[in-house]
Structure 1
């Protein structure tokens, strides 16, 4: 039994290394043979082991990670499609366009144009009316939540790296079920703090009584509190927009005082099961 547990843990650690490698080399050669080498496994066995641990094929994981990075470039940079295709490992613009359009149901041009941020002079503040129709704020009592977490350092758009690892590790301990909730906790302002110094945590709810004595997670709590939240429908690279409205328009004009706890997000559906445009994210702030 002990031998089986050691072997299982070795496989898990190898696959976690593969996830790290994919995120760090999204512009490189990420075929099954290359990733099998990273995992120190035979290519004949690697793809089967990965599928059993991760719940999807390695090719689907790689494509999803590449296209999420591409979407971030389209929203947050002025790189050309040719440059973006190269940055996310596609050999041609045509191949990139086909893959992106199939995944997002929009061409890269359409995706970028629909999410372009209009530049407005600071002498003319943004219209409250425009944003009120976009984001409906809810006030609620948030119960205490017990979480296990993995820390992520760097670009918030890469926190998926931590979630991939967390899901794999927790799943193999049978800590994930139909009641599991997924949260991201974000400690810094990405427009103020240098990207490499940003700190966030990928978290899931868990019954602490079910945790084994020996585990690799950080245990943390979201305290019971009053909170305000808004529901955002759309792809993750667009989440800066509701944050800007919440902190720049709504909260300064409200009667709420923010508590000394970072904002956090709850992910209400699975990016493996819905199109990016239909992702649902609830952004929370604890308040007095």
Structure 2
């Protein structure tokens, strides 16, 4: 479905992604974890082309893009973006539009749907994430959790092939995190293909069928939640879990000399 080959990204000479290879199957829910500043968010933003890689390939079904891009690739870029949906850390809602209008926006401006059809679809999406009764509220009158659920509805209503979630709970108060995680779990259970960057380790364990651990712009661990959390192979992964006090298999601590 989605394939990434040799994807690299630099910022002012600092390598953030270093020849990343990744294949995502339809229906995969991939949790992406690792220390801050190791390329997790950048990986999502390059898939959606909010950031342009210096080299590599992105293939999504019949769309194939090779970097650096050429002017002739403009149509392919639009197609890729239209088939990937992004949920940001800070919601990115239009402040001067209601929840309903925010969800309708892409349907009208990108998919050219009529106002009547856009409103019907937007109401369904808001109901799906449990915020339909706040449809006429502006972002400033919504809690952080409600705003993020509107942002998720805005993504869902476009029916993307892949949903990219970049730390969707990092801007929320602790008591609001669970309501957003509940919605994400419900979406995952419906078979959506998702890549999720998060520091919510217990949630990553529950919602993902596959976990990636990134460090220094590389994927150093790739496996099922049980494999990565209970039996990590890489020394850097073990160190990370030890610091977070979530290393499930404590026998690993005595075998670090055997790891990569």
TM-score, length-normalised on structure 2?
0.29
Greater share of residues in strand: 2
Answer with 1 or 2: which has the greater Rg: 1
TM-score, length-normalised on structure 1?
0.27
**Which protein has greater RCO, CA pairs closer than 8 Å, 6+ apart?**
2
